[in-house]
Amino acid sequence: MAACRTVYDAQLPPPYPQPLPQRQRRPVAGVVLAVLSAVLVLLVAITVPVVIAVQREERTAALGPAAGSGEQAATLDEVEEYQSRRDHTDDDVDYPQTPPVGGPHADEWLQCGVYDKPVRDENAVHSLEHGTIWITYDADAVDGDGVAALAEVLPDEGIISPYPDLPVPVVVTVWDRQLQLEGADDPRLALFLDEYGDGHSSPEARASCEGGVSGDNEPTVPA
């Protein structure tokens, strides 16, 4: 009988839990690290587009809604594109656009800033070649508040000046690209600056308009 009990007892499962085989243990630290990495990637994917959108909204808000624009979304469909020469000349140039978008120009470029008097085309065009934004306005159609609104969104590499005989209240120009605007509050200005503000359409992008000439027509620099 004793021998039978011994065999029976040997077939019973042990009274305590057995450890899992080594291969079944989960690497806890590795799982936590993987989860944290996934969360970080997700946060970056969400945050970057939000920051870009906020910056664009702030620029558009500074300009205000376009008069008479209604519910129609602003676009850059009306941007005019050109192909210009870029040689230097000492002569006055009869440009085909108002204001000019490129072409032959003076050896010296125009200093960045906000001008309260018209500037010389040939110097301004040289600044366009350097990737500068040039915002021109009709002094009879844009008042002081409008000029201040334009100056508020002007990039560092930018020029604002009145321009005689403009076909519209405001025109924004970079090298070989130009858009006519309905006023200082036209939301397409913000779109144009977002699209072309880096000067990529110009032959010498980021060459800067700093250090240019201004003569006795000293500009002010937006704060």
Inside any domain, residue 7: no
pLDDT digits (tens, 9 = 90+) for 15-74: 555 555 555 555 566 666 666 766 666 665 665 455 445 545 555 555 555 444 445 789
The H-assigned helical ranges of the chain are: 2-11, 28-63, 121-129, 144-153, 188-196
Same domain, 152 and 51: no
Q: Does 155 lie in the same domain as 87?
A: yes
For residue 74, give the 3-state DSSP assignment.
coil
Question: Does residue 189 share a domain with residue 104?
Answer: yes
Q: Are residues 88 and 55 part of one domain?
A: no
Separation between Cα atoms, residue 72 and residue 59, nearest integer Å: 18
Residue 148 and residue 110 in one domain:
yes
Distance CA 85, CA 126 (A): 11
Asked if the structure places residue 209 within a domain, the reply is no
Is this structure's pTM higher than 0.75?
no
Number of domains in the chain: 2
Supply the CATH number for residue 133's domain.
Answer: 3.40.30
Residues 168 and 89 grouped into a single domain: yes
Q: Are residues 38 and 128 in the same domain?
A: no
- Closest by CA to 213, choosing from 133, 122, 86, 98, is 122
Do residues 54 and 100 share a domain?
no
Residue 211 near residue 108 (C-beta atoms within 8 A): no
Q: What is the pLDDT of residues 150-200, one digit of tens each?
A: 999 999 999 999 999 999 999 999 999 999 999 999 999 999 999 999 999
More confident residue, 22 or 148: 148
**From CA 49, how far away is CA 108, in angstroms rounded?**
40
Domain contains 220: no
Verify that 98 and 184 share a domain, yes or no. yes
Q: What is the mean pLDDT of the chain?
A: 82
Same domain, 36 and 124: no
Boundaries of domain holding 44: 30-59
Same domain, 92 and 172: yes
DSSP sequence for 10-30: HHSPPSSPPPPPGGGS--HHH
What average pLDDT score do residues 64-86 get?
77
